[in-house]
Structure 1
Amino acid sequence: MVCNRCIMVVKSAFEKLGFDPLSVKLGEVELGEELTIQEKENLSIALEGYGFAIMDDKRSRLIIKTKALIVELVHQQNNDIKTNLSTYLSDMLNHDYNYLSNLFSEVEGTTIEKYFIAQKIERVKELLVYDELSLSEIAFQLNYSSIGHLSNQFKKVTGLTPRHFKDVKLNKRKPLDEL
């Protein structure tokens, strides 16, 4: 789950099957009781219909939590952390960053840093399309050291400059779950 709508859809799927989740957060659902094998299968089928999957093992949950923290950081908190990403993730997940990084790369086929950059670029695209902030304000909001750094990273990822992207409105935004 990568957004508030995802949370609503997942909660609704649980409720339609007669479950009352104690909490539904990004990448995590807490229930009051254990599910039977049949209940898990029914839930899995229902969630797959919406493009979700049950992650039941520890490693998968850690990847989901890592992604959720990055998405939340970039899309809801505007990258407002007072430390670097590796320290932030280590502190939030209570794991050594090298372990998190190796696990993420092994499972996802990309690095945490590339995933983080992809999320930031999608956020830049969103803000450019909304046309409410200048490029300078966007760079500041997303913790880029300069407009030049943002522009170079944007072009490296999209093949377009932010100005060209804004002008032609090509390659708009990708759904967060496709990053």
Structure 2
Amino acid sequence: MTLFIRNMACDCCKVLVEEELEKLGVHPQKIELGEVHLKEDELPVKKQKQFTEAIKRAGLEIVENKKGILLEKIKQLIHEYVNNSKEKNSMNLSTYLSKALHYDYAYLTNFFSEMEATTIEQYVIALKIEKVKELILFDELTLTEIAYKLHYSSVAHLSNQFKKVTGLTPSHFRKLKEKREDVKVA
């Protein structure tokens, strides 16, 4: 039995889902972004209602219709693609999605745009910028290293995209972080 969960986009979400299932005495076989694999009939209706309510408080929800499931699979694969540079080196996103989902990429892009009111490309850019922010805030990587890690063609490309999305340059964003740290120390 597989449950598809909307908005499950990070490891913290996976931990939350696992904890909520454990509270109910349910032991998942595997938890991935957007998916929970259980033994058949391991989550009876009563426990499923309790689980649904628990994850809803965290902004997550179980997806039950086919369109919702496909949308979550697309998002899950995009998250994996952005966060896993090994796949990026071997194929482009359109090929990656088409192969994984067994749909033509044109169909997937139209479907995604219809469901999300944004394009896959815009969604990827937003994810990458969030990753850049995370790397600036928590790692000690240079912008060159961040650009390389996220497969930007150059630091200038990363900076331009970052500024379009956030209104700030990455350098200014880093300085704001440093100012906040100085204020905490003082």
Q: Place the TM-score, normalised by the shorter chain, in its bin.
A: 0.7 to 0.9
2: CA distance between counterparts of 1:83 and 1:71?
15
1:107 corresponds to 2:122 = no
Q: In the aligned structure 2, how far is the partner of 1:134 from the partner of 1:78?
A: 21
**What corresponds to 1:27 in structure 2?**
34
2:96 corresponds, among 88, 91, 106, to 88
- Is 2:22 aligned against 1:6? no
> Structure 1 or 2: larger helix share?
2
How many residues get paired?
171
- For each residue in 1:2-35, what CA deviation from the matched residue of structure 2 results, as whole angstroms up to 9, or x when unmatched? 1222112111212222322222111111222245
Length-normalised TM-score, structure 1: 0.84
Is 2:21–2:28's contact at 8 Å kept on the other side of the alignment? yes
Query: Following the alignment from structure 1 to structure 2, what is the Cα–Cα distance between the partners of residues 97 and 128?
Result: 32
Amino acid at match of 1:81: N
Aligned to 2:158: 150
In 1: Cα distance, 2:56 partner to 2:139 partner: 35
CA shift at 1:41, angstroms?
2.5
Matches within 5 A, 1:12-161: 12-34=19-41, 35-77=43-85, 80-161=88-169
CA drift of 1:82 comes to 2.3
Identity %: 51
Taking structure 2 as the reference length, what is the TM-score of the superposition?
0.81
Larger radius of gyration: 2
Higher strand share: 2
Contact 1:21 1:32 (C-alpha < 8 Å) held by counterparts: yes
Cα deviations across residues 51-77 of structure 1 (Å, max 9, x unaligned)?
210011222122112212222222344
**Any unmatched runs of 5+ in structure 1?**
171-179
For 1:79 and 1:22, the matched residues in 2 are separated by 25
Map Cα deviations across residues 62-104 of structure 1 (whole Å, 9 max, x no partner): 2112212222222344773322211111112222112211221
Q: Assess if the C-alpha contact under 8 Å between 2:81 and 2:93 holds in 1.
A: no
Is the CA contact 2:85–2:149 (under 8 Å) kept in the aligned structure 1?
no
Helix, strand or coil at the partner of 2:91? coil
